[in-house]
Amino acid sequence: MGSSLITLHGKDFQPYLSASQLAEAVENLAARINADYAGRQPLFVVVLTGGFMFASDLLKYITLPCEVVFIRVSSYEGTESSGMVKEVLGLREEVQGRDLIVVEDIVDTGTTMHHLVPKLQSQGPASVVIATLFFKPESLRHELTLNYVAKEIPNDFVVGYGLDYDGLGRNLPDVYVAV
C-alpha cells in the first residue's frame, strides 16, 4: 500500500486499508456465507457501481452453487448521501422462493438498503440478507439487519476498492480515507 497522499478532484486522501487487509476480511466473510448457506443455492444481488470489486473478490471465495445478478441504485452526490435513492437499473430475474444475498460496498446512512430490501421482499423470496464490505454504525439512520459485515469503520469518507469520490478512485486496490 502506498504511503503517500492521493488527490482526487482537489481533495486529499491518505492510506487506510491495504489490499491484503481487504482480502483477509472478504475471505473471512465468504467463509461465513459458505457455512450458513451449505446445501442451498443463493442468488447474489450485487449493487453497482461501488460493489463490483467487493463482489468479484467475495465470489471467488464462495464455494456454493450460486447465481449472480447486478442492479444499480444510487444515493450519493460527492461525499454526502443525497437521502434519495435513484434506481437506475432494476432486477429482472425471478426471485420468488429464492435466497437472496444483497452485496453492497458500504452501508452508512442505510438509505439504499432501507429502500431496496422491502422492494426485494415484496417479490416473495425465501430470504433476503445483506452482505456489506463496510459498515459505518455512527451514520446509520434506518433500522437494518446487516447479516454479513466484513469491517466496521468510523464515519469517515473512504475511496478505493470500488468506492469513489465523484467517479474517481474506484480502481484503487487499497482504501484511502479523506483528510
Confidence of residue 115 (pLDDT cuts 50, 70, 90): confident
User: Of the ranges 28-37, 80-89, 98-107, which one carries the lowest mean pLDDT score?
Assistant: 80-89
C-alpha cell read off for 143: 433500522
Q: How far is CA 179 from the centre of its chain?
A: 23
Question: Catalytic site residue 12?
Answer: no
Confidence of residue 3 (pLDDT cuts 50, 70, 90): low
C-alpha cell read off for 133: 464490505
pLDDT in tens, 7-62: 999 999 999 999 999 999 999 999 999 999 999 999 999 998 889 999 999 999 99
Domains delineated in the chain: 19-155 (3.40.50.2020)
| 3-state DSSP assignment of residue 47 | strand
Q: Considering 108, 156, 164, 174, which one is annotated as catalytic?
A: 108
Which strands make up the sheet holding 11-17, listed edge to edge? 6-8, 11-17, 175-178, 158-159
Query: What is the per-residue pLDDT for 88?
Result: 42
pTM of the model: 0.89
For the chain, percent helix, then strand, then coil, each to nearest 5? 25, 40, 35
Cell 469503520 maps to which residue?
153
Q: Do 71 and 91 touch, CB atoms closer than 8 A? A: yes
pLDDT at residue 125 above 70? yes
